[in-house]
């Protein structure tokens, strides 16, 4: 690997637990060797996702001891395995949550690779982007749209893609009425896409005053508190928060036949539902599990055509632990992004 050092700095989950402690540590570790079908990439920016928080705090079970989190990675290809031919050294690529699938199970064969029982994930099963270098299977690396900085692109690789899948799962029709619960990294991108690509009326319900102001600036038809009610019945809703107690609140805001999509990988317990008040008239609840590569490609193509205003809070690479603490305390406006020294803001 010409010009690539043998060691690098990386943040590792040393002792999963509350980020108010010190579950994450900065260490000197070996630069990984790419497998024959993999790319070695130099990290330029990495988004800080709530899933990273769940991995770090232990809400998600440990899959790899001492894992390097991070799965919203904007990077430059610096080396490639013998079988990795789709990308050239010097290309800017995106590394996302879904890392590998088997390609042969019934789910993969029917286009639902996000449900593959053998799937593995960046920053959970394999080391991710809170480091100076990372590897990615070439078939799972994304080509990125022009017109965005590294910092703006990073949140698109999970917050954007998952929001797009949640939007699909919500069944939102052209010109529909969409409720969005919570307004962080994923929600602020999804709202824009719903407005620009679907012509939707978007109602944002969130406890954060700063997030409500951002929602107004981005064109929301109304804003209000997460526990409140939108000004009109909803055709579709997405819960971007980890709060299960918002599920009955959102269901009761739906019109007949409306769908609530749950966008997160982790949700606190849902209170008992009342069939008549919460589910009757064919209201539905749908979960969202990761995404397919096709979701990612379609979303990034849309992001290239519909220029999204990506609100980011930049952090230097050495402040990954602080970024996670700020995320946990709802002190981040938009998406937190770790920047390499050469990263673009």
Provide the strand spans (E) within the chain. Answer: 7-13, 24-30, 38-48, 73-80, 92-95, 98-100, 120-121, 133-137, 141-143, 177-181, 201-205, 222-224, 234-239, 254-262, 284-287, 312-316, 335-339
Nearest to 56 by CA among 103, 97, 20, 32: 20
Instruction: Report DSSP state, residue 156.
Output: I
Q: How do the domains of the chain map onto residue ranges?
A: 7-143+311-339, 161-287
pLDDT band at 341 (very low <50, low <70, confident <90, very high): confident
* Residue found by looking up tokens 């102001």 in the block: 213
In this structure, the strands spanning 335-339 and 38-48 are: antiparallel
Stretch 83-89: mean pLDDT: 93
Please tell me the predicted confidence (pLDDT) of residue 345. Answer: 43
Please tell me the predicted confidence (pLDDT) of residue 344. Answer: 47
CB atoms within 10 A of CB 58: 14
Please tell me the predicted confidence (pLDDT) of residue 1. Answer: 62
Q: CA torsion angle for 38, 42, 45, 51 (degrees, to 10)? A: 40
Q: Say whether pLDDT at 233 is over 70.
A: yes
For the chain, what is the mean pLDDT?
A: 95
Stretch 239-248: mean pLDDT: 96
**Tokens at residue 309, please?**
């205003």
Distances (CA, A) of 119 to 95, 125, 252: 15, 9, 35
Q: Say whether pLDDT at 254 is over 50.
A: yes
Q: Say whether pLDDT at 343 is over 70.
A: no
Q: What's the pLDDT tens digit per position in 138-185?
A: 999 999 999 999 999 999 999 999 999 999 999 999 999 999 999 988
pLDDT band at 342 (very low <50, low <70, confident <90, very high): low
Phi, psi of 102 (to 5 degrees): -75, -30
Q: What's the pLDDT tens digit per position in 45-65?
A: 999 999 999 999 999 999 999
pLDDT band at 66 (very low <50, low <70, confident <90, very high): very high
Please tell me the predicted confidence (pLDDT) of residue 81. Answer: 96
pTM of this prediction? Answer: 0.92
CB atoms within 10 A of CB 130: 31
pLDDT band at 133 (very low <50, low <70, confident <90, very high): very high
Write b or e for each residue in 136-173: b if 16 or more Cβ atoms lie within 10 A of its Cβ, otherwise e: bbbebbbebbeebbbbbbbbbbbbbbbbbbbbbbbbbe
Distance in angstroms (rounded) separating the CA atoms of residues 135 and 79: 9
Stretch 116-124: mean pLDDT: 98
Q: Say whether pLDDT at 302 is over 90.
A: yes
Stretch 298-326: mean pLDDT: 96
Q: Say whether pLDDT at 71 is over 80.
A: yes
Fold of 161-287: Rossmann fold (3.40.50)
Q: Say whether pLDDT at 2 is over 80.
A: no
Q: Which CATH superfamily is domain 7-143+311-339 in?
A: Medium-chain alcohol dehydrogenases, catalytic domain (3.90.180.10)
Q: Say whether pLDDT at 134 is over 60.
A: yes
Cβ atoms 324, 53 nearer than 8 A: yes
* Residue found by looking up tokens 């998600």 in the block: 60
Instruction: Report DSSP state, residue 115.
Output: G
pLDDT over 70 percentage in the chain: 98
């Amino acid at each position: 690997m010409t010009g690539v050092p043998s060691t690098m700095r990386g943040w590792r989950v040393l002792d999963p637990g509350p980020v108010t402690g010190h579950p994450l540590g900065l260490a000197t570790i070996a630069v990984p060797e790419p497998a024959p079908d993999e790319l070695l990439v130099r990290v330029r920016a990495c988004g800080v996702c709530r899933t990273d928080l769940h991995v770090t705090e232990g809400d998600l079970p440990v899959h790899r001891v001492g894992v390097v989190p991070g799965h919203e990675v904007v990077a430059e290809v610096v080396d490639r395995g013998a079988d990795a031919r789709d990308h050239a050294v010097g290309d800017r690529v995106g590394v996302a949550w879904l890392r590998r699938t088997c390609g042969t199970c019934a789910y993969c064969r029917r286009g639902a690779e996000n449900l593959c029982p053998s799937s593995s994930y960046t920053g959970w099963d394999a080391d991710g982007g809170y480091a100076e270098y990372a590897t990615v299977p070439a078939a799972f690396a994304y080509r990125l749209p022009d017109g965005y900085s590294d910092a703006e692109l990073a949140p698109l690789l999970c917050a954007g893609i998952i929001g797009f899948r949640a939007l699909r799962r919500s069944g939102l029709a052209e010109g529909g009425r969409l409720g969005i619960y919570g307004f962080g990294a994923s929600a602020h991108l999804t709202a824009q896409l719903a407005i620009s690509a679907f012509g939707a009326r978007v109602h944002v319900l969130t406890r954060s005053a700063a997030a409500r102001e951002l929602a107004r600036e981005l064109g929301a038809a109304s804003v209000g508190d997460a526990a409140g009610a939108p000004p009109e019945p909803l055709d579709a809703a997405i819960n971007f928060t980890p709060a299960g107690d918002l599920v009955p609140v959102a269901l009761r805001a739906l019109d007949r036949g409306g769908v609530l999509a749950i966008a997160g990988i982790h949700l606190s317990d849902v209170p008992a539902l009342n069939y008549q008040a919460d589910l009757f008239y064919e209201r539905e609840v749908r979960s969202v599990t990761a995404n397919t590569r096709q979701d990612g490609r379609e979303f990034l193509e849309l992001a290239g055509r519909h220029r999204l205003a990506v609100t980011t809070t930049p952090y230097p690479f050495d402040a990954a632990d602080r970024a996670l603490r700020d995320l946990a305390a709802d002190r981040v406006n938009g998406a937190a992004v770790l920047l390499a020294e050469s990263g673009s803001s």
